[in-house]
Chain A
Amino acid sequence: MNNSVDFQTDPSNYRHWRVDYNGAIANVYMDVDDNGGLFDGYDLKLNSYDLGVDIELADIVERMRFEHPQIKVVVLQSGKDRVFCAGANIRMLGGASHSHKVNFCKFTNETRNALESAEADSGQKYIAAIKGACAGGGYELALACNYIMLTDDRNTSVSLPEVPLLAVLPGTGGLTRLTDKRKVRRDLADVFCSTEEGVKGKRAEQWRLVDEVITNSRFDQAVLERAGEFAAASDKSDVSEGIVLTKLDRTFENDGNIRYSTVDVEVDRASRKATITIRGPDSTPTNIESFIDEGANTYLLRLARELDDAILHLRLNELELGLLIFKSQGDHEKLVAHENLLLQNADHWLVNEVLQLWKRVLKRIDITSRSMIATIEHGSCFSGILAEILFAVDRSYMMKDEFEDDDRRIAHISLTDANFGMFPMANGLSRLQTRFLGDQNFLQAATALKAERLEADDAEKLGLVTMALDELDWDDELRIFMEERASFSPDAMTAMEANLRFAGPETMETRIFGRLTAWQNWIFNRPNAVGHKGALQRYGSGMRGKFDMERV
């Protein structure tokens, strides 16, 4: 595990954040440790952040949901004077490899989305309380909150100076949230995004950049009041205590393999692939009380956290493993029983949090820039919640008929309510809706067969798997597919898959990942930003970036 980034942390290890919990209100203070950068070569001045800072924020947001369900309002503010947040650290970006920049942006975007959706999914409303400079990624962080309060001290402004200052985009959702979420008029957005110093005071409110502007002397009090009002108005049910998100049961082995309690990751570097095997539950709680007693040990929560960690690890620390193969092994019936318990108690706060987490993990899979397939082997347990993985990956292969010397139960899959809208993709549709966009008959046929045991021929006919293969074809077809995939350009694969995965309507989320991110990644490859005379490289040198003025 040398030099690799660990996405697991806990409050005892935070270097950059503090959280105070007062009844239904939590105060999250961003107070970045200058010397706490994840890598060498930069100081995290002025509450600027790097991946390490964001990993802590993601942890805070996650634990807020599970460990502090009594919290209804979260106030996000700075722990420093005169600066809210200066955004992503520019020297870090200037020195980072292209792949790191891309991965960094993807993770920070996912964290912003998780924070933003906390209100709708978990009843936890985030307020950004801005005092002091709020620039770039700092304002994007505020944009992800559900309510933005700005002090009017004749100095504090919000700004997106990326374009004039750095020749890159506000790529953590900034451009998209301006227009899609806050519905800032496009010409004003244009002015705002090309004005380095940003906009302050009343004008920020008039332009819809913030929700409320308050005189500096009243600001703290107003924030307090507003938090209280929001908490009082919240329809989130009162929960006396949360559960503790215990440390993951996780072992890294020397060859890169990882063992979790429900997930195995096996790495094959020569073939540039990793196999992710999900184990079904050994047992399931019989009622909601025992489910709560299990806490972080309950199956689906463990699985979601472990799988999430595995995906993040592979994304950031295993750049050359271009193909992820999902498998499952386990007892169908036990999984179905577990799922039934959850679905029947879906309005219980903890069940809800587990299901919402599973939704986010599935979305994380959706936008993972690796070729992904699922192999549905004998003895597998792709039912309902796990079957969603089959519809998230690029292709699926299913074992058909018996295989010699294989006494595992014959491969089958089954659909449940989980597959029909409970876990929408970024485009707002279920994965099956997206899959069968062109033919509603398929969707109806699949709906009619809910809970049926579908073996390979049926699954193939229903369009639920890519190919059903018998024993004679299985090894060869898979080997050849994998070799072929490994020979293609990783860039072309990433781009092709990202295009094919998200059919259907655009949403703010798809626009962030599909449009904003794609353009940002283009800019990240262009000399005007990253060349040695580019703006990103020259930032802080006193020299302006030198641009090739040709429009492309």
Chain B
Amino acid sequence: MEDHVKVNYDTRIPNNVGLSSDRKVLRALEKWHPGFIDWWNQLIPPRYQQSMVYLRTAVSADSKGWAKFDYVKMPDYRWGVLLAPRQEDRTIPCGEHYGAPAWQEVPGEYRNMLKRLIVIQGDTEPASVEQQHLLALSAPSLYDMRNLFQVNVEESRHLWAMVYLLFKYFGRDGREEGEDLLRRSSGSEETPRLLGAFNEKTPDWLSFFMFTFCTDRDGKMQLESLAQSGFDPLSRTCRFMLTEEAHHMFVGENGVTRTIQATLEAMNRVNIDDPYDIDEIRSLGVIDLPTIQKKLNLHFSLSLDLFGQELSTNAANAFNAGIKGRYMESKLEDDHKLVDDTYTVKTVKNGKIVAEEVPALTAINMRLRDDYIRDAARGVKRWNTLIRRNGVQFEIKLPNEAFHRQIGVFKSVHADVDGDLIGKEEWDRNVSKWLPTSGDNDFIQSLMEPCYEPGRFASWIAPPRVGINNMPGEFDYVKLHMA
């Protein structure tokens, strides 16, 4: 890797892609910029726009420079275009062009496929900001508010990254798609976001944590597989985005951890052993573990849907074309072509869930989903360690992949959280045990009182063990604008 790839601030748009000499992209981005600022300004309540937020900004694209902390007003955040440094001699990591030099320009034959992938990825970035845009009003602490804003500005910068690719490589079509990314809107009847999960509401902070834990992790897996693209600019863009995406995972996992922590501490304080003593626990102003499990069930199952159909020709085509790899493709030891390989997937046959060998190429989505489940399971394991250490008999589990699915082979069946197929009646009888009820949601909502005093935290969430950039928990992460 080259040393310290400097970010170029000689245009209004920080970048390490030589924007000032790229008239075409510069002109397109400058035209797009005001629309983006409008979008941002209309989304985030003015009070927070005016506040000074302790944010991390990338000043270069390498390990030393990507994290520079300082107070900044969000509209002044340096949105920009940053790609990971180019690796010399990088080759196409998979598919029929395996081993050929990576493409530096869009190969015409894959133009539409690539554009579609970039548009879908790009669409998720502003969508999540839209979903979360009112959460600051109920932030449980300034620390959490700051984390929310960090996620928001970075998702927005990821939008920039995708828009840059569209403008740089897809000409007139790309510019139209760039405009459409601002025109679609999460939850809109008229012009919804492209993927279902990104049109759902994020009504409370536990939802936000679960969203970042589950759904942003899907984003991470998608970025991981696009980082393996044979189209080098996409790969470099996604590699850089992944450094930021890790923080979003952290916000989610850590947020849930602290929620559990607060619950456990409250239970211990008044000596409640039974995690199912829900009313008692709730009366302590914390969220009971069964409800946290239900929230996980919901968000996890929605996120599995994002991986699409179990068997997918699109995914096979993208892999075979070399424009989307598998998770850690370059570290895998096989022929990277999968022409004759098979992969085991779960499917429904004669009313039973059975394992089936299918051509590996068509099961690319499934493989990524399996990697995703493994990745998510590690976080759950840490939560359970925490629960065990606090002496409470409860285990949080990821629901089975067959549970509560809207896409794929399990869409047409009912399964419980362990993956046993059940009838409609049994589902109806038990669904309130598995998924949050309106009562659960109301309860969570009732806890969502803002807590804006530095160092103070809402009752339902514990302070972090370590603050941002090694600052203490009581650090003034957001200097709220006083109107």
Which residues of A are interface residues toward B (Cβ below 8 A)? Answer: 467, 469, 472-473, 476-477, 479-488
Given the complex of chains A and B, what is the CA–CA distance between A481 and B169 in angstroms?
A: 12
Closest to A482 in B: B108
Residues A480 and B23 in contact, CB atoms below 8 Å apart: no
Q: Chain B residues near A484 (CB, 8 Å)?
A: 108-109, 111-112
Interface contacts beyond A481-B108, A484-B108, A484-B112: sample of 17 additional A-B pairs, CB < 8 Å, sorted by A: A467-B172, A469-B172, A472-B27, A473-B24, A473-B171, A476-B105, A477-B171, A477-B172, A479-B108, A480-B171, A482-B108, A483-B108, A483-B111, A484-B109, A485-B108, A487-B108, A488-B109
Closest CB pairs A-B (n = 10): A483-B108, A487-B109, A472-B24, A484-B108, A480-B108, A477-B171, A473-B171, A480-B111, A476-B171, A484-B109
Q: Chain A residues near B171 (CB, 8 Å)?
A: 469, 473, 476-477, 480
In the complex, whether B107 has a CB less than 8 A from a CB of chain A is yes
Q: A467-B172, A480-B171 are in contact. Are A472 and B108 (CB under 8 A)?
A: no
Residues B105 and A479 in contact, CB atoms below 8 Å apart: yes
Given the complex of chains A and B, what is the CA–CA distance between A503 and B398 in angstroms?
A: 59
* A483 touches which of B23, B24, B107, B172 (Cβ 8 Å): B107
Closest to A487 in B: B109
Residues A480 and B172 in contact, CB atoms below 8 Å apart: no
Instruction: Please name 26 pairs of A and B residues whose Cβ atoms are closer than 8 Å in the assembled complex, sorted by A.
Output: A467-B172, A469-B171, A472-B23, A472-B24, A473-B172, A476-B105, A476-B169, A476-B171, A477-B171, A477-B172, A479-B105, A479-B108, A480-B106, A480-B108, A480-B111, A480-B171, A482-B108, A483-B107, A483-B108, A483-B111, A484-B109, A484-B111, A484-B112, A486-B108, A487-B108, A487-B109
In the complex, which residues 12-37 of chain B have their Cβ closer than 8 Å to any Cβ of chain A?
23-24, 27
In the complex, number of A-B residue pairs with CB atoms less than 8 Å apart? 36
What 1/0 flags go to B310-323 for Cβ under 8 Å of A?
A: 00000000000000
Given the complex of chains A and B, what is the CA–CA distance between A473 and B105 in angstroms?
A: 14
Given the complex of chains A and B, what is the CA–CA distance between A479 and B111 in angstroms?
A: 11
Interface size on B, residues (CB 8 A): 13
Which residues of B are interface residues toward A (Cβ below 8 A)? Answer: 23-24, 27, 105-109, 111-112, 169, 171-172
Closest to A483 in B: B108
Measured CB to CB, the closest approach of chain B to A485, in angstroms, equals: 7
Given the complex of chains A and B, what is the CA–CA distance between A477 and B175 in angstroms?
A: 12
Q: Chain B residues near A486 (CB, 8 Å)?
A: 108-109
Q: Chain B residues near A469 (CB, 8 Å)?
A: 171-172
The main secondary structure of chain B at its interface with chain A is helix
Measured CB to CB, the closest approach of chain A to B111, in angstroms, equals: 5
Measured CB to CB, the closest approach of chain A to B344, in angstroms, equals: 33
Measured CB to CB, the closest approach of chain B to A82, in angstroms, equals: 57
Q: Chain B residues near A476 (CB, 8 Å)?
A: 105, 169, 171
Closest to B105 in A: A479
Given the complex of chains A and B, what is the CA–CA distance between A511 and B27 in angstroms?
A: 50
Given the complex of chains A and B, what is the CA–CA distance between A485 and B27 in angstroms?
A: 28
Given the complex of chains A and B, what is the CA–CA distance between A482 and B111 in angstroms?
A: 11
Given the complex of chains A and B, what is the CA–CA distance between A482 and B109 in angstroms?
A: 9
Closest to B108 in A: A483
Given the complex of chains A and B, what is the CA–CA distance between A472 and B111 in angstroms?
A: 18
The main secondary structure of chain A at its interface with chain B is helix
Given the complex of chains A and B, what is the CA–CA distance between A487 and B112 in angstroms?
A: 12
Q: Chain A residues near B107 (CB, 8 Å)?
A: 483
Residues A483 and B169 in contact, CB atoms below 8 Å apart: no
Given the complex of chains A and B, what is the CA–CA distance between A127 and B169 in angstroms?
A: 61
Q: Chain A residues near B172 (CB, 8 Å)?
A: 467, 469, 473, 477
Q: Chain B residues near A467 (CB, 8 Å)?
A: 172
Given the complex of chains A and B, what is the CA–CA distance between A172 and B455 in angstroms?
A: 91
Closest to B23 in A: A472
Closest to A404 in B: B23
Given the complex of chains A and B, what is the CA–CA distance between A481 and B109 in angstroms?
A: 8
Q: Chain B residues near A488 (CB, 8 Å)?
A: 109
Q: Chain A residues near B111 (CB, 8 Å)?
A: 480, 483-484
Closest to B107 in A: A483
Measured CB to CB, the closest approach of chain B to A489, in angstroms, equals: 11
Given the complex of chains A and B, what is the CA–CA distance between A410 and B193 in angstroms?
A: 42
Q: Chain B residues near A473 (CB, 8 Å)?
A: 24, 171-172
Measured CB to CB, the closest approach of chain A to B237, in angstroms, equals: 18
Given the complex of chains A and B, what is the CA–CA distance between A476 and B170 in angstroms?
A: 8
Measured CB to CB, the closest approach of chain B to A486, in angstroms, equals: 7
Q: Chain A residues near B109 (CB, 8 Å)?
A: 483-484, 486-488
Given the complex of chains A and B, what is the CA–CA distance between A473 and B171 in angstroms?
A: 6
Measured CB to CB, the closest approach of chain A to B17, in angstroms, equals: 15
Q: Chain B residues near A482 (CB, 8 Å)?
A: 108
Q: Chain A residues near B106 (CB, 8 Å)?
A: 480
Measured CB to CB, the closest approach of chain B to A397, in angstroms, equals: 11
Q: Which of B24, B27, B171 is packed against the most chain A CB atoms within 10 Å?
A: B171
Given the complex of chains A and B, what is the CA–CA distance between A113 and B98 in angstroms?
A: 51
Closest to A271 in B: B108
Measured CB to CB, the closest approach of chain B to A382, in angstroms, equals: 22
Q: Chain B residues near A479 (CB, 8 Å)?
A: 105, 108
Q: Chain A residues near B112 (CB, 8 Å)?
A: 484
Given the complex of chains A and B, what is the CA–CA distance between A473 and B112 in angstroms?
A: 17
Given the complex of chains A and B, what is the CA–CA distance between A7 and B172 in angstroms?
A: 42
Measured CB to CB, the closest approach of chain B to A26, in angstroms, equals: 52
Measured CB to CB, the closest approach of chain A to B23, in angstroms, equals: 6
Closest to A480 in B: B108
Q: Chain A residues near B169 (CB, 8 Å)?
A: 476
Given the complex of chains A and B, what is the CA–CA distance between A487 and B106 in angstroms?
A: 13
Closest to B22 in A: A472
Measured CB to CB, the closest approach of chain B to A401, in angstroms, equals: 12
Q: Which of A479, A485, A486 is packed against the most chain B CB atoms within 10 Å?
A: A479
Given the complex of chains A and B, what is the CA–CA distance between A481 and B107 in angstroms?
A: 10
Q: Chain B residues near A483 (CB, 8 Å)?
A: 107-109, 111
Given the complex of chains A and B, what is the CA–CA distance between A2 and B23 in angstroms?
A: 48
Q: Chain A residues near B23 (CB, 8 Å)?
A: 472
Given the complex of chains A and B, what is the CA–CA distance between A472 and B171 in angstroms?
A: 9
Closest to A481 in B: B108
Given the complex of chains A and B, what is the CA–CA distance between A482 and B105 in angstroms?
A: 13
Given the complex of chains A and B, what is the CA–CA distance between A476 and B105 in angstroms?
A: 9
Q: Chain B residues near A480 (CB, 8 Å)?
A: 106, 108, 111, 171
Given the complex of chains A and B, what is the CA–CA distance between A473 and B25 in angstroms?
A: 10
Given the complex of chains A and B, what is the CA–CA distance between A484 and B107 in angstroms?
A: 8
Closest to A474 in B: B171
Q: Chain B residues near A481 (CB, 8 Å)?
A: 108
Closest to B24 in A: A472
Measured CB to CB, the closest approach of chain B to A309, in angstroms, equals: 30
Measured CB to CB, the closest approach of chain A to B130, in angstroms, equals: 31
Measured CB to CB, the closest approach of chain B to A449, in angstroms, equals: 25
Given the complex of chains A and B, what is the CA–CA distance between A484 and B171 in angstroms?
A: 14
Q: Chain A residues near B27 (CB, 8 Å)?
A: 472
Given the complex of chains A and B, what is the CA–CA distance between A481 and B106 in angstroms?
A: 11
Measured CB to CB, the closest approach of chain A to B144, in angstroms, equals: 44
Q: Chain B residues near A472 (CB, 8 Å)?
A: 23-24, 27
Given the complex of chains A and B, what is the CA–CA distance between A488 and B111 in angstroms?
A: 12
Measured CB to CB, the closest approach of chain A to B245, in angstroms, equals: 29
Q: Which of A476, A481, A485 is packed against the most chain B CB atoms within 10 Å?
A: A476
Given the complex of chains A and B, what is the CA–CA distance between A469 and B175 in angstroms?
A: 13
Measured CB to CB, the closest approach of chain B to A375, in angstroms, equals: 15
Q: Chain B residues near A485 (CB, 8 Å)?
A: 108
Given the complex of chains A and B, what is the CA–CA distance between A483 and B27 in angstroms?
A: 26
Given the complex of chains A and B, what is the CA–CA distance between A480 and B109 in angstroms?
A: 8
Measured CB to CB, the closest approach of chain B to A474, in angstroms, equals: 9
Given the complex of chains A and B, what is the CA–CA distance between A487 and B108 in angstroms?
A: 8
Given the complex of chains A and B, what is the CA–CA distance between A486 and B110 in angstroms?
A: 11
Measured CB to CB, the closest approach of chain B to A136, in angstroms, equals: 43
Q: Chain A residues near B24 (CB, 8 Å)?
A: 472-473
Given the complex of chains A and B, what is the CA–CA distance between A473 and B173 in angstroms?
A: 11
Given the complex of chains A and B, what is the CA–CA distance between A472 and B169 in angstroms?
A: 11
Closest to B112 in A: A484
Measured CB to CB, the closest approach of chain A to B242, in angstroms, equals: 27
Measured CB to CB, the closest approach of chain B to A465, in angstroms, equals: 14
Closest to B28 in A: A472
Given the complex of chains A and B, what is the CA–CA distance between A469 and B171 in angstroms?
A: 10
Given the complex of chains A and B, what is the CA–CA distance between A322 and B23 in angstroms?
A: 33
